[in-house]
Structure 1
């Protein structure tokens, strides 16, 4: 079923005949392209006039000898109402020029002629076409429907657009304005203010805004992704440092074997002085050495002392014990017998310690 549509363009040049009629030559009344139309449900449909339809021989022929009207009538112009509605007639010179359909026409009504001279200069064709739901892209513009079997019914002279000279009045007769099924112009909001604009201009602005919105959304997505990348990089850098620290703390097998041997030697040596009852479990090398040192020098304080200092003091204490004998009289010492026979003290040292012990006992007996 064919549906009625309206296209609009602007006319500038005309000639006045001896009778006072106005004749317009080669007016572009429609062209190939994608245009917005208001559907019956209020939605906007972007319909394509494809070249093989709008510029076909059939459509061109329908532009000839058609009534020129003052505004669009409420219905189609027919034989029955032609006398009441017609204010002129199109010529039989309809032709194609590039992507446009051109035709000349003459206005014979004095009232409409006065309106034209006073600025009513836009032409809007009323036509019928089959609207087919087909999607595609023409000349870079997406459409959702195609107009097929286009037949021009009348050519209406309508008022100029009301959104300012740059929108409503065109500088040449090749400019276009598509009317959405009536006289009301669509509006476009700029800085919170609504302006009436050409539907094609509005469609273009909305398309540009959509692209801008999509681009801004992409920028936000990229920023979010960059933030995540930065966070990941920071985490990786932290983990790399932790790995490097752990690697720096790792020791070779030879170093491990050496540390084990040193630990065994320390335990064996310290047992000679601390006795079997001393629990070495969980004790660091430093703690063990401090325990031995305090046997030799009870007033020794290891607080704030470096490991190197404690090591040196320990070595000195062992050397002193070896050369001078074990002086402590505390429990779990060699003097009590608890540490006797433990393998870290050599036989010579053990002998000297025993001699010192016997000598001291003799001195005590002689003093009685």
Structure 2
């Protein structure tokens, strides 16, 4: 019985001393452990498309002997094969697909102290980052092999129900979990790993067991949180660190809310004072009347470039000695007088233009004697004048 399938043997977590970055930025991992033998690993029937006599969902042991793993044929089949980031569709790399999936290659495959090891040259930037940050640090061999159903006992006393024969390596895939155990440094994929996995979220470690999806989700959230903490928030010309300057951000936001509220409160006033065509026409008509009245009161008054209030103040200043002005302003200087006082005084002056000022009449004599030449016609002594009869 021969099947094409992938096996993930151990953890790809070589020591830092075995990792070397080339001048081109490639990552060379020397002596990465690919597999060990003899060893019994657990599989499920459904991984092989179902096996007669084996119930789905129940694992059974498959034995790999040292003679099989370290045979010249197995080692030769692994030499020069492609490395991929996860397994490609069909778990096979060929001439038609290698360019789309290859991230590097495997060379110098050999046996060392009971392990199948090799040197990996990883060329893909994303894969290198995943390895260097320990995000994805295991390898899986993709290969074809004969699955022989037979029972037996491994040298360490572990029972098995089948053996692998005639292993032909096709590729090496970078994956998350291994089946061989922690001492293998290049993984054999385990869909139900027994080992646990710890994720640190905001400084607190969590054991997510064999839930790869949960581990990936938590790591994504952790990365997003780290990015958020490192992010900068720009408000206007000011820039703030979200992680350390939230109080300052809140203060700016509060000020913006206050300013917005104040502006909203001023909108009715601004709308009321908005210069509409009708208001402009009325203002022009009022200005024309002011200029007309000002010219009547003072023909030499300057009106160009002056506001109506300025024109009124100049007119009143020219009439500062007028009794009416004094009465309205109450003795306050023209420059210090309130706008309503200036308006009242100007209107009063305009209303009395061309007529005798009644206020001034209060300070004029009731009659004026007529003199012709130097002669005084009234020769009667003042002491006797009271005796003259009154005119009817």
Please state which band the TM-score falls in when normalised by the shorter chain.
0.3 to 0.5
TM-score normalized with structure 1 length = 0.46
The structure that is helix-richer by fraction is 1
